Every structure is written in structure tokens, then in C-alpha cells.
A and B are shown apart, each in its own frame.
Chain A
């Protein structure tokens, strides 16, 4: 089963990379861009009986490795 995980900084946590991208966009003339946040997208195949089991398993992976629970949260989507 294919799963997709989005790992992002929790709201309120400073995102220096996002800020740098935003500044660069403004420099290029895209002055309308704001609130840029850079996120991480991970896709993987998982051996699981059904979508619920898959999601649980991936959340466990996220808590142990894919995200830093202190500053990041994540969303899991099962792609089938």
C-alpha cells in the first residue's frame, strides 16, 4: 500500500528556509507571495492489511523517525 506523509513545522515555529524563499520571491518581483512555509513530503510502500492499519503504522514511523515531535507535526494519507 502506498502512503504519503507530509511533515511540517508546527504553526508558530520559525521556518528560516521558508523565510529565505519568501525573501527571494520578493526580490524576483513576486511581491504578492507571503507566509511561505517549506514542508517535507515522504512517500513509501507499506505492507499492511488495510488503509487503517497502514495509516497507524506510518504514524508510528513518523513519531519515531520521520518527524521531530517537538517542533513538527505530520499528516498521513493512504494512496491505495
Chain B
């Protein structure tokens, strides 16, 4: 049954299970809905049920797994289930600061219309954060594109990056960190995950509650149009080639409107409970999900007159008004009799604000249009008793370990292998991307991802800073979904430790293939277990997140990509030296035991087939290591630090040198294998840059703590970037400036090749 049969129905016409399929409901789900409400739903009701029970809104395939994530902790003020998680930044100060943050996917819209898809992804996540009462102070993103040679890749990169910059820059939030990688697995399904963080006073947190019988339900923000109808259903379905014409219209964002909306909302929040009861943004499934979720959370009902909803077009039906995903809109519940005060605030900011209904006590969402009741549905059962599936899954097969032959082949040409790593689009500098983001607006950015391991943003008018990173090694996740997810959390914690912060909270965006394919469901289950395990050992709670499934085109699924956002706190900026300019002669010291194999290394990706058995990471030891580096960072002699991640030590040293604009030379200590030490990724270590006088002190502190350390070399001693093996033989040697120029050219060349191709 196509959507056209559904389109022919009027709002109040009764539906059949075939119409159900058109809104994404299976036969069983349609019958479940009929049983739940005791009759056959009409078109409006069916639309609401379809949206609420879509994968995107109901998490029906993932919910049983998400329960395993640890979400409690002494600093957690609001956990998963609200618009964003909130974590305490100043425990012990009852009126102190807290941060609200969340990461969310906008993969499907961005593939269809890269600019607007990515832009509205940023808009949506910003609204999630300021709905909690927080002023957004930082944004970051994780992007995964197809291989460079794919004809669509250049225009997708270009559109997505411009879209993120366009929205974030106009809104006025600094985009401080971006992780962008490329792989053939994303050819037909890019990933665009957007993160936002805001600050608020912990005694002023707002939630999406519709409580208090008789209180007015108000609609604020932009008008409702016919855009993005069925977005939630689309995000819960996979693409197939040649279906372009069936694709629904995507939404167009208006960042200037959103700026007005945040200022109006923050002004309203200032007035506090005198005016406001609860507030929620309209995201996926628009008015439907906001009304049902707000009523369900409060155990109340609402009576809504849809004729009062500000419409951008004439003749919109109830079905369209309920399912539109027009941007920059919110629903709020005000205190009875305060409608006029609320309206005055929004009108001052040039925004529509209308009372559209009232809170009731019968637990039912009632919608009227043209004087006719078009929808009568119970709120809680629809929001909370959505189907939950224990989808069958198979445990991912562990790939074979590398053989001697695999590694020997690699060792024949060490220079090329190192070059392949340093000049790959995934590891290459993302200057072209960062340059399009305003990283400084708000004047709070102390470090950003262009030159540091993590971003560091000051909370306005304090000496407190928030550290952020958004990470995932999708290749390791595809080899071992559990261990790969563990390492995504570890990467985030390592990055923020390197800038001197303590991890306080995690948000995750789980990007996987189809939940109906047992192998892909198995990847999700293993990924959740991996995140849960790592977060438990590292004692950092998961406070918010999002699941994006059906990331596949035809049978091609993306690499399992659990994007993990880690947020840390530096409670006194005076204790942490901001990344000092490095100078020639500064010494590079490796902290932690080096890898001893190439299992799971980027250097071997695509060269040996699906091979590589990642060992189980010693989380307890890694946690101690991260804590040790964090303390070192506060020591004085340590000028900068970076964990070894994608591309191993070689990439880490190159990034150090590139960011310092000084060449580097490194020699391995005795008895180490060149390949394992420089390119291995099976375990984590750090490199720190230390001024000459501090070397002995750092080594002594490492020895006292029982942590391995090795002086590798120094910055700026010659004009070449040189890697030497344990015997002191030069294995890799390249003019430094040429290498930097080549690396910096990788991403711009990719975009230029797309322009040439389309010319």
C-alpha cells in the first residue's frame, strides 16, 4: 500500500491495517493499537500512533538494550528520557552551575539534502538543550562520509559542513570540535551527529511536563508548514536506490528565528515558576510527540484546538498540523491566567505565541479541528507502552588475528605505510572544515579541536571550564563491536584528560544498520554492552543519547558507529596551563606502555580483509593512566598532551608537530618493533610535550606512579619529520613543511575534485 491511499483519506475517516503500513506500522502493531484504544483509529490518530511508535521516537528495538547503560551518579541532575541530560558542575554549591548536553543524529535528512539536513540537525539539538533552561555555549559534530572517490562524497561533505557552519554561526554558538572520517561503508548513508552543550543554574532546570489541570497549553516560535511530514517514519526506514521521488520534503531551518526563540525562552525562564510549568521543543514527529510526551510525563491529558495553531499555509489538515516537522517551534504549559505575560515576552522577540488548549486530568489527548473532535487517544499508553522488541540477534563473530604474512607484506615498504596513514582523508587535518565554523563566538573558547586533543570552553564569568570530545573508531567497532565501543568511551575520556579535565558525563549516539538483521542487531547489543562496561569502570554516567537505526542503503550497512560524547570539567582554570605555544627543543615523552601488535590498526584497514583481533583493553590501568596524565597536565612543566588514537603514535607525533608548527624527531627505546610502536592501536598511551627543565621531573613522577615512560625525541631540532627505530636507524624521513602541506591539501583537494567532476 502506498502513501497515496492514505493521502486520499480525510482526517476523521477510519483506517485499515494497510493504511497502517503507510505510516510504518506492522500488522501486529496496528492490531496492538486497535486493542489499546478499543476501536479502529481514524487517520489523525493513526498518524499520531505511527509517529509515536516509530523507531525514531519509541526506541522500540533498542530500549531493552539501553536499560543496561549506567545513568546514575552523584553529579547527575537529569538523566536519560528528558530533552537533554544535566550534570552538576559545582557539587556543594546549591545554586551553582550545571551543564545540559546531548548528541543526536540527523543522518537521513542530511543524505537527502546535505545543507538543510545538517543545519536543522544543529537547530534541533540546540533546542533540546535550551529547552532545559540552558544557554548553549558549545557545539560539536561527528561526521562520517563515503569514500573520497565516490561521486556523491564531495558535494555531501561540502553541503553538510556549510549547513552546520551556517546554522551554528548564525545562531551564535561556537562549533569547537569535529570528527570527520571517510569509508566506503558510508557511501550510501552518511552520518551527521550533532552535539550541543549549554549552561544553567542547577536550581533552574525545566522539564517537559504538562501538569496542573486548567493550565494553558501554548505554542511558540515559527509557524507550522507542510515541511518534513513523516520525518520520524523516514528515519526509521532504510533507503533504496531509485526511490528519490517518494522522499518527503525536508525542513528548511532559520537560525535567526532560533536565536530569537532562545532569547525569548531564557527570558521566560528568568521569570521562573511564576509563569511557566513545563516546556518541550518540537522535534521529530512535531506537535504529536511534544503533546503526548508532556502529558504522559505528568500523567495528565490535554485538550487542543488545532485551529489555533499558527499555520504557514492555508487549508492544512489536522493530520498535517500534527505531523509537520517545521523547525524552531516549542510547546509550553503556562500557569493559569498568565497567558498574556508569556505572550508579551514572545511578541517582544517577534515570535508567534498562541494558546492552543488546556491541561486536563483524564490522561487523554483530545484534538479538535473545525469544531470536530478528530483525535481521542490516551497519552501514557501511546508514549510509554510503545511496542518493545527483543529482536533476535547473533553475537558478532570475532575476526581472525593477523598472520605473520599480513604483517610481513606491510613491512616491505615502511615509508609508504606511514605516508598512507598520515595522508589519509580520515586522519588528515580538518582545517578546511574548521575554518567554516565560528569557533570563538561568545569569547569562551580556550581550546578547540584544530590544535588540541579536546575542546575547552569557559563557563561565562567563572574560572570553571568544560572539556568536550566526540569520538568513535568505527573501524575497530566493525572488527569488534564490544571492544570498539569500549574504546570510543576511552578515547573521549583520554582526550579530555589530556586537557586536564575530569570526566563527568557521557552522551551517546548509536548509529547502526537494520535491527531486523540479527548480525546488525548483535552489533548494537555488543556496542551498548561495551559503552556500559567502560562507563562503569571509568565511573562516568550516560545521561542522554539517541539511537539511529536503519543506516543502510539496500544491503549495505554502515560500520557500527557508537559516537560517544564525553564532557569533563576543569573546576579551576588557574590549575591548568592552557596549551602553551610549544618551542624548538621541547621534549616529547611517551607515557604508558606501547602497543605490541598491529591488531585493529588503521594502517592495516582495507589491506588485509576483515582481520584483526583487538585485545581486551585493561580499563583499570587505562583509567589510572588518564588520571595520571590529567594530574601531569596540572603540573607546570607539561605544556601539552595528546593520546595516541587513530593512526597510532606516528599520527599523534605528526599532529603535535603540525599544531606546534615545528618538525619532530622520535627514536624508539630499545627492543621495540617499529610498526607496532608507531602504528599500533591495540592500547592507549599519551605523548606529552615538556620543557627541557621538566624532563627529569616528569620521568620521576612516572616512575613513582609505576607508569612506563620513554623520552622519544624533541620538537624543532631539524627541518624534517623523522621516525627512527630502536637501533637508531632512520626509517621514515620527510621534509616537514612538505608533509604538512600535503596533509593540509587532502580535504580541500577532495572538495575540488568534486567541483571538477560536476563541471
Contacts and interface: CB of A to CB of B under 8 A. Distances in A.
Interface of A: 9-16, 19, 23, 64-65, 68, 70-71
B350 A14 contact: no
A14 B227 contact: yes
A15 B222 CA distance: 12
Interface residues of B, number: 21
B250 interface: yes
A12 B313 contact: yes
B124 to A, nearest CB: 15
A71 B225 contact: no
Interface stretch (B251-259, B480-488, B538-546, B708-716): B251-259
B254 A16 contact: yes
A71 B113 contact: yes
Q: What DSSP secondary structure best describes chain B's contact surface? A: loop
B201 to A, nearest CB: 33
Given A23-B350, A71-B113, A13 B252 contact: yes
Contact of A14 (B247, B256, B326, B758): B326
A20 to B, nearest CB: 8
Q: What DSSP secondary structure best describes chain A's contact surface? A: loop
A19 B250 CA distance: 18
Nearest to A20: B256
Contact of A12 (B112, B113, B225, B254): B225
A10 B113 CA distance: 14
Contacts of A64: 758
Interface string B223-258: 001110000000000000000000101111010110
Interface string B303-314: 000000000110
B83 interface: no
Interface in B192-246: 222, 225-227
Given A64-B758, A65-B758, A13 B113 contact: no
Contacts of A14: 222, 225, 227, 251-252, 254, 312, 326-327
A16 B758 CA distance: 29
Given A23-B350, A65-B758, A70-B112, A12 B227 contact: yes
A71 B313 contact: no
Given A12-B225, A12-B226, A16-B254, A70 B113 contact: yes
Given A71-B249, A71-B250, A16 B112 contact: no
B249 A12 contact: yes
B520 interface: no
B329 to A, nearest CB: 11
Nearest to A15: B252
Contact of B113 (A11, A23, A68): A68
